[in-house]
């Protein structure tokens, strides 16, 4: 069975924004955007601002090659790390951490 963002995007009333988990710079901080606007899962522009609650997502697979996308919930924060000056916005991940869609569906739906 595949577990994709499509299965949960309508269950959480927050913008779903693509993130690259290779851009995780701290345990709870991931790079989000170079600009004030980022397109959501559906392609609609989202204006980013401090404290905006969002869901970050990335396509992924389990060890058997079946889709099991990754999500994180958190808030937008301005990049004040002193690093990566080309990045304006970061995503501060909440205490739920990085999760697979399969885990989300098992525990929250």
Q: What is the average pLDDT score of the chain? A: 95
Q: How many domains does the chain have?
A: 1
HEC string of 23-87 equals HEEECCEEEEECCCEEEECCCCEEECCCCCEEEEEECCECCCCCEECEEEEEEEEECCCCCCCCC
> What domain range includes position 57?
5-108
Q: Round to whole Å and give the CA distance between 39 and 80.
A: 23
Q: In this predicted model, what pLDDT tens digit does every residue of 25-60 receive, in sequence order?
A: 999 999 999 999 999 999 999 999 999 999 999 999
pTM to 2 decimal places: 0.93
Q: Mind listing the pLDDT tens digit for each residue in 89-101?
A: 999 999 999 999 9
């Amino acid at each position: 069975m595949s577990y994709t963002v499509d299965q949960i995007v309508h269950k959480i009333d927050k913008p779903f924004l693509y993130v690259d988990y290779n851009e995780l710079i701290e345990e709870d901080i991931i790079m989000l955007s170079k600009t004030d606007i980022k397109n959501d899962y559906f392609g609609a522009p989202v204006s980013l601002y401090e404290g905006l609650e969002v869901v970050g997502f990335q396509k992924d697979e389990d060890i058997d090659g079946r889709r099991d996308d990754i999500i994180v919930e958190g808030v937008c924060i301005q990049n004040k790390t002193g690093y990566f000056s080309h990045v304006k916005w970061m995503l501060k991940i909440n205490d739920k951490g990085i999760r697979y869609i399969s885990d989300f569906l098992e525990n929250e739906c």
